[in-house]
Amino acid sequence: MHNTPATTLVKNGDSWSVNGTKYDAVISTIPPGQLKQIGGPDLPEIPYQGAACMTMGLDRDVTENIYWLNMKDDTPYGAVVSHTNFVPVERYGEHVLYLASYFSGSIRPGLDTAMISDFCRRFSIPKETIHWHKLAIDPFAGPVYTTGFRRLIPSYGEKGLYMAGMFSAPNYPERSMEGSVQAGFGVAGAVDQGQGND
């Protein structure tokens, strides 16, 4: 079912039930630790970092045609990405930019306000320059590559349960869109060949 969070995962003989509905096989793209919490296999714990990214629309280009700026100073974000310095601004009708911030644990209170205030001060623009903004928070944005991480990578198939995501082998040691696409093809091949159904 579309737009329905998976809350329970139960193994029933040769099939799986998700939220009480029986399936021959299940493909999961969520972190293995989160999958375990709803009934998935007990796999080694993969450490994750979170991301808090603010997307905003502006009336001007504030980075002077630069696409990506890494922030060295102590700021509430680590990068400024001017999306419309890569994709034509005409596609959106305004300049689209996002502020990227990574974290472990929880985010600091008032992060959205701190991001906007710092951004406006640092780039010398009034707040009215920002037409809209939205802060998105994902506590499991990407795995943290610790020593021995390769041993934590799960296989695609686990007894009819198939897993692929940022934690998959094609995304190690460098996470990328290409790695995620390769993981998708890999897990599709595993399902097609029935791997992990024993």
CA distances from 31 to 63, 123, 148, 185 (A): 35, 37, 18, 18
Q: Using an 8 Å Cβ cutoff, are 46 and 152 in contact?
A: yes
The class (CATH top level) of 49-141 is alpha beta
pLDDT, one tens digit per residue, over 32-64 is 999 999 999 998 989 999 999 999 999 999 999
| Distance in angstroms (rounded) separating the CA atoms of residues 105 and 180 | 25
Classify 104 in phi/psi space as left (phi over 0), alpha (psi -120 to 50) or beta. Answer: beta
pTM above 0.85, yes or no: no
Which whole number is the average pLDDT over 12-23?
89
pLDDT, one tens digit per residue, over 66-104 is 999 999 888 999 999 999 999 999 999 999 999 999 998
Q: Where are the domains of the chain?
A: 9-46+144-193, 49-141
| Distance in angstroms (rounded) separating the CA atoms of residues 3 and 193 | 28
User: How many C-beta atoms surround the C-beta of residue 78 within 10 A?
Assistant: 15
Classify 11 as helix, strand or coil: strand
pLDDT, one tens digit per residue, over 91-147 is 999 999 999 999 988 888 999 999 999 999 999 999 999 999 999 999 999 999 999
User: How many C-beta atoms surround the C-beta of residue 1 within 10 A?
Assistant: 8
